[in-house]
Chain A
Amino acid sequence: MTFIFEGERIRLTVVSNDVLPQFAAWMSDFGLQRLVNPGMSVPHSEDDFLDPDGWFQGDLKNEKTRMFEVRTRSDDIFIGHCGIVNVNIFTHSAEIGINLAHPDYRGKGYGGESMRLTMRYGFEQLNLNRIYLRVMSFNTRAIRLYEKLGFQQEAREREVLFHDGIYFDQLLMGILRREWEAVNG
């Protein structure tokens, strides 16, 4: 059996504060924010992520969250975060999220590998029955990836996002444990 936190090219590690100033700089990129932030686009400082009472550190401490750093195996470069949030221990469902913020590592298959590891962690370690995600309807590259990973589009929330003076839809996608097992044994 392979180590649960290691893929072919990446590994999932504990989130450290050391990388957060770099992460904040990446996250201030307008184009990236459009793809990963459904809310209002705002510039970020490292304080947003380091503040012990802020949302990011709060998420890390939250029992319903399992967040990881994504690092390359070959040279241990930090390329982003991936994790499970909003774990519901009653329905055994949770949301998955990924943000490969490093501009040099987007669109090269690292996202899919990170997602597969995190999904396996969710189903095989957290004993989840359902993993879902939200994605903006215009993020077609991400939607194709999620479909390839086995997620099905379950709902389309109309006009729930607003950017650049235009309303956009948000897709809710989900995969069930039995569907995951059918493909991954």
Chain B
Amino acid sequence: MDDFAPLKGDDVRRGLKVYLDSISNATIEVLSNVPLSESLLYHLNDGNTPLTPISAKAVGQSYKEGGKLSFSLRLIENADLIGFCRFGDVGWQARHAQLHLSIVEEAYLTPEIVIDVLQTVLKLAYWEANLNRIAVHCIEDNTLLFEALKHTGFTNEGRLRDDVYRNGRYLDRFIFSILCREWENIIG
């Protein structure tokens, strides 16, 4: 798949374009308090709560409070902060988790970046955290994420009908997942 060919022993926090970093108070402090653009708000909203004019700083704060398995996303080329991700709903018995991902810089809301983030996170999840299954929820109008998940090898497990309410109408929510052995088969 593309040029992504991780090897065991590589830095599990690094992808091709992005790397996972900690979330410190200083990390959040550099972010803007200005509400994000409309397209970013749609990208960030999980469909369980109404759209709210949230800022990048507030997004960072929520990820910081999300526990140890929360990370900031930075560009390898210049260390710029472009977003956050975290593992939620971790089930240690079946070794599964749900990935939450938020890009807060509009210029990086691109297939290339989102796919690289997914690949990097999967490497950490399977080769460091010893998980077996990673799930991602995707609202039906989030075409970018939908295509990125398919490209990365996620399986569409189904759609929860009318699970999201937005702009006066109901939308469906897709559940995607990829198992460790599936990901390892894909990356060879």
Contact = CB atoms under 8 A, between A and B. Distances in A.
Is chain B a partner of chain A in the same complex? yes
Interface in B153-180: 155, 157-165, 170, 175, 177, 179
Given A91-B48, A153-B158, A130 B163 contact: yes
A176 interface: yes
B91 A160 contact: yes
A106 interface: no
A174 B161 contact: yes
A161 interface: yes
B94 A172 contact: no
B25 interface: no
Nearest to A167: B94
B158 A155 contact: yes
B123 interface: no
B78 interface: no
A61 interface: no
B163 A91 contact: yes
A159 B158 contact: no
Chain A contact patch, size range: 20 to 34
B155 to A, nearest CB: 7
B153 to A, nearest CB: 13
A93 B177 contact: no
Given A158-B157, A159-B96, A167 B132 contact: yes
Contacts of B48: 88, 90-91
Contact of A159 (B132, B161, B163, B170): B132
Q: Is the interface of A mostly helix, strand, loop or mixed?
A: strand
A129 interface: yes
B179 A159 contact: yes
Which of A39, A88, A132, A157 has most B Cβ within 10 Å?
A157
Interface string A9-42: 0000000000000000000000000000001100
Which of B49, B161, B179 has most A Cβ within 10 Å?
B161
Which of A92, A129, A157, A158 has most B Cβ within 10 Å?
A158
Nearest to B181: A159
Nearest to A40: B93
Contacts of B49: 90
B146 to A, nearest CB: 15
A87 to B, nearest CB: 12
Nearest to B160: A154
B175 A155 contact: yes
Given A159-B179, A161-B93, A162-B93, 11 more contacts: A39-B91, A91-B170, A129-B170, A130-B163, A155-B160, A155-B175, A160-B94, A162-B94, A167-B94, A172-B160, A174-B160
Q: Which 10 residue pairs of A and B lie closest in terms of their CB atoms, listed nearest first?
A: A155-B158, A162-B94, A91-B165, A155-B175, A155-B157, A162-B93, A130-B162, A154-B158, A159-B133, A154-B160
Interface of B: 47-50, 91, 93-96, 132-133, 135, 155, 157-165, 170, 175, 177, 179
